[in-house]
Amino acid sequence: MRILRHRFIPKFVRRILITAVVIPKFVRRILITAVVIVAVGGRVLVEAPPALGQFVLPSTPVLSSSYPPANVERFGEIETAPVRSPFFGKDLFRVAAPTVYVRDGEYQDGNVPVELRAELIEANLRRAMTRLTDVETVRVNRSILNGNLVLQVSDQDLSRPINLLTVTALDASFYAQTDEEVAKNWQQHLQAEFEGVLEARAKFGDQILGASPILFGMVVLFSLLQVLHWLLRRHNRALKQQVAEQEMVMQQTEEAVTTAALSIDPEPDPTLPQPSESPTDSEPSPPTGPIPEESSVPLTPAPTATPTAEPSSTRMVEEQLPERRSRFIKILGSQLSLRRERRINRFLRWLIFWAEVAVVYFGTIWITSSVTQWHRARAWLLGLPIHILLVAFGTSLTIRVSHWLIHQLADSYQDYSFLTLGESERRRLLRITTISGVLEGIATAFWVTIGIIFILESLSVPTQSILAGGAVVAFAISFGSQSLVKDIITGCFILIEDQYAVGDVVGIGEVTGLVETLNLRVTQLRDAEGQLITIPNSSISQVKNLTRLWSRVDFTVTVAYDTDPTQLLALLQSVGADLYAEPEWAEKIVEPPTVMGIDHLSHEGMLVRVWIKTKPLQQWATGREFRYRVRQAFEQQGIQIGKPQWILTQPDYDRPDHNRPDHNRPDYDKYPKESPWL
C-alpha cells in the first residue's frame, strides 16, 4: 500500500491493471477462448503429419490424434490395461493386447482395444460372483479350450464351469513368462478373490454391527457441528443488528456534531427569513432552492435577517462539541471492529460447513472400509468424488483468501486517514466499499470458472469445445449488450478516479443536481425541482463537480464609474473580514474572502470580483449572506450600482446645413429620391 500511495508504479501500468480487473465475465471468457483456440490450432499444426510429395513412402503406422485412455499403458506394439476386482475395487493383474492407434469403433484384423478386453473379463467376474455360494468348494482351474489356455471357476452348486478369460501370447510376452506361468499367477489371484468375496458375504452382518459405532460417532460429531453452526449464525445476526444500530447512532451523532458546530441559536425566530440552511459537514445537503450557476446568481437578493447567538448557548455548544466528536470517532472504530468480527464469523461458519462435509464423507469411507462387500464403493469414493470435493474446497478456499486480501487492502487504505472526518472520509468509505465489492465479485467469478474447468477435465468432458461454444454465445450476447459493458466500465472508472460520489452536486451535460444513487450502471440526480433523473454511465462525457472537497463563491458586482475604487475595495474587504470573523460563518468558509480587484471597465461602470472558498455545499448559503451584507454596506456608504449609459444626439434643423438640398435650387431634381433628406 505504501508503494501504491507513493506512486512508485507508473500511472499507465496502474490503468492497465485496473482495466484488466474490471473486464466483465463474458469478455474474459472471450479472451480465454481466443487463447485456447490459438493454442489448439498451433498444437494441431505442430502435430499434423507431414505432407507427401509425388512418391509414396513405405507404409508405416499412422498415429491418430486420439490418445489411449488414462488407464491404458502403451509399450510399442503392446497395450496393457488393469483388471479390477468388481467386489473390492482393487487391481488384480494387467492384460495385454495389440496396440490400436485409431479408436473409432472399426477395428481391423480383429484387434480389440485392451480396455474392452479388461471390461469383458470384469463382466465375467461379476457374473461368476453372483453364481458362487460355497467358499469350501470354489475352485479356479486352468483348461485348454480350442487350443487356448483358459481360466475357469466352479463350485459344487454349478453344473458346468464359468469361463473367465483366455491367456494369450501377448500376455506371456508382456510378463516375459510362459503361458502356464502367467495362467498360474492369475489363477492364484482369482482364487483368493473369490474366497474373499464368499467370506465377506458370510461376515456381512457382523461387519455391519461393527460399523455401527462409526455411524453413531458421525451423527454425534455432525450434530455438534450443527449446534456450533447455529450459534455462529445467531451471533452473526446479533452483530448485524449491532452494526445497524451503530450506523443509526453514528448518523445521529454526526448530525449532532455538525449541528452543534454550525447552529448558534437553537430556536431561531420562525418569522424571520433565514439566509441559509444549516447543512452538515460530513453529510452535506443541497440548497433548498434552484441550484444556480455562480455567474447567473442575482446580485441583489431579498433582504434577510441573520440570527444572533446568545453567549450561554454558544458556551454550551463549545463544551459539548469535543465530547460529541470523540464519541463519533469511537463509534466509527467500533463499527469497523464489528465488521471485521462479522468476517471472522463468516469464515468460521465456512470452516464448520466443510468440517461437516468431511465428517460425512470420510465417515462413509471408514464405514465402507469396515464392510468388505462395500470395498468397491470405498474405491469409488476415493477416486473421482474426492477429486471433485478437493477441487471445490480449493476453489472455495481460494475465493475466501482472495476476499480476505481485498478486505485487508481496503482496511489498510482506510486506516491511513482514519481520523479524517468530513466529506473526504465519507467519500473514501463509499469508494472503498464499492470497489472492494466489485473486486470480490470478479475474484469469485474467476476462481469458480477455473474450478469448473478442473472438474470438467476430471470428468473427461472436452473443455475446449465448451469454451469454444461459450465464446460463440458470449460474442452473440456482447453484440446486444455493448452499452451495458460501457456502463459498467465507465462506472468503475468513476469510482476508482473519484470523479463524484453520493452527496455531491454535479452538472452532467445540461442537468445539474444532487447525486442520490451511484452504481456501476447508472447515476441518479435529484434536481432543484425534485425530479429524479437517471443517467447511464456510458453517456457521461463531462462532469462538473460543484462540491468536490471544497467550493467557491464567485461574487461579481458592477458599481457606478464615479465610485472611488480604493473606498470600494476596502469596503468589500471589510465586509468579507466581518463575515469570516463570525463563528457561524467561519465554520463554513475555508479561507478569508479574497477581493480580486477590478476585472472590467465599461460604460456601465466598474466590475469588481470577490472569491470566497467554502466547504462543500456551503457556497450558496455563504454567497447569499455575503450579497446581503454587501447590499447593506453599499446603502450605508452611498455607493450606486452601475447603470448602462447611452448618449443620444438629435440634429438641429434651425442651423443651416450646406449639405442639405434646397427646394429652390435649380438642380434640385438631380438629387436621388431615396436621399435621407427627402
Of 366, 425, 106, whose CA–CA distance to 210 is shortest?
366
The domain tally of the chain equals 2
pLDDT of residue 574: 93
Are 526 and 514 spatial neighbours (Cβ–Cβ below 8 Å)? Answer: yes
Q: Which of 51-55, 107-111, 343-347, 458-462 has the lowest mean pLDDT?
A: 51-55
Give the confidence band of 69 by pLDDT, cuts at 50, 70, 90. Answer: confident
pLDDT over 70 (residue 416): no
8 exposed, middle or buried (CB, 10 Å; 0-12, 13-18, 19+)?
exposed
pLDDT of residue 516: 84
The single-letter code of the amino acid at 46 is V
Q: 657 in a domain, yes or no?
A: no
Strand partners, 179: none
Render pLDDT for 648-657 as a digit per residue (tens, 0 to 9): 766 655 555 5
138 exposed, middle or buried (CB, 10 Å; 0-12, 13-18, 19+)?
buried
Provide the domain limits for residue 103. Answer: 73-198
Q: 269 in a domain, yes or no?
A: no
Give the C-alpha distances (Å, rounded to integers) separating 18 from 12, 492, 540.
10, 9, 20
Residue finishing a domain among 180, 198, 216: 198
Q: 579 in a domain, yes or no?
A: yes
**C-alpha span between 351 and 424 (Å, rounded):** 38
Average pLDDT, the chain: 75
Residue 11 has a CB neighbour count (10 Å cut-off) of 8
Q: 493 in a domain, yes or no?
A: no
CA 301 centroid distance within chain: 49
pLDDT over 50 (residue 365): yes
Residue finishing a domain among 142, 168, 198: 198
Q: Which of 112-116, 287-291, 435-439, 450-454 has the lowest mean pLDDT?
A: 287-291
> Backbone dihedral region of 503: left (phi > 0), alpha (psi from -120 to 50 degrees) or beta?
left
Q: 129 in a domain, yes or no?
A: yes
pLDDT of residue 83: 92
> 505: helix, coil or strand?
strand
Of 312, 333, 287, 300, whose CA–CA distance to 528 is shortest?
287
Q: 165 in a domain, yes or no?
A: yes
**C-alpha span between 576 and 332 (Å, rounded):** 37
> 98: helix, coil or strand?
strand
Q: Which of 314-318, 445-449, 459-463, 554-558 has the lowest mean pLDDT?
A: 314-318
**C-alpha span between 144 and 161 (Å, rounded):** 13
In 48-138, which residue ranges form alpha helices assigned H by DSSP? 114-131
pLDDT over 70 (residue 286): no
Per-residue b or e along 155-194, where b marks 16 or more CB atoms closer than 10 Å to that residue's CB: beebeebbebbbbbebbbebbeeebeebbeebbeebbebb
Q: Strand ranges (DSSP E) for 89-234?
A: 91-98, 139-145, 148-154, 162-167
CATH number of residue 576's parent domain: 3.30.70.100
Between 274 and 537, name the one with better pLDDT: 537
Q: At which residue does the C-alpha cell 499412422 appear?
A: 62
Of 434, 443, 448, whose CA–CA distance to 521 is shortest?
434
pLDDT of residue 297: 36
pLDDT of residue 252: 62
pLDDT of residue 475: 77
Residue finishing a domain among 198, 214, 248: 198
> 556: helix, coil or strand?
strand
Q: 475 in a domain, yes or no?
A: no
User: Which cell numbers hold the place of 361?
Assistant: 464423507
pLDDT of residue 31: 53
Of 339, 351, 502, whose CA–CA distance to 407 is shortest?
339
**C-alpha span between 152 and 140 (Å, rounded):** 6
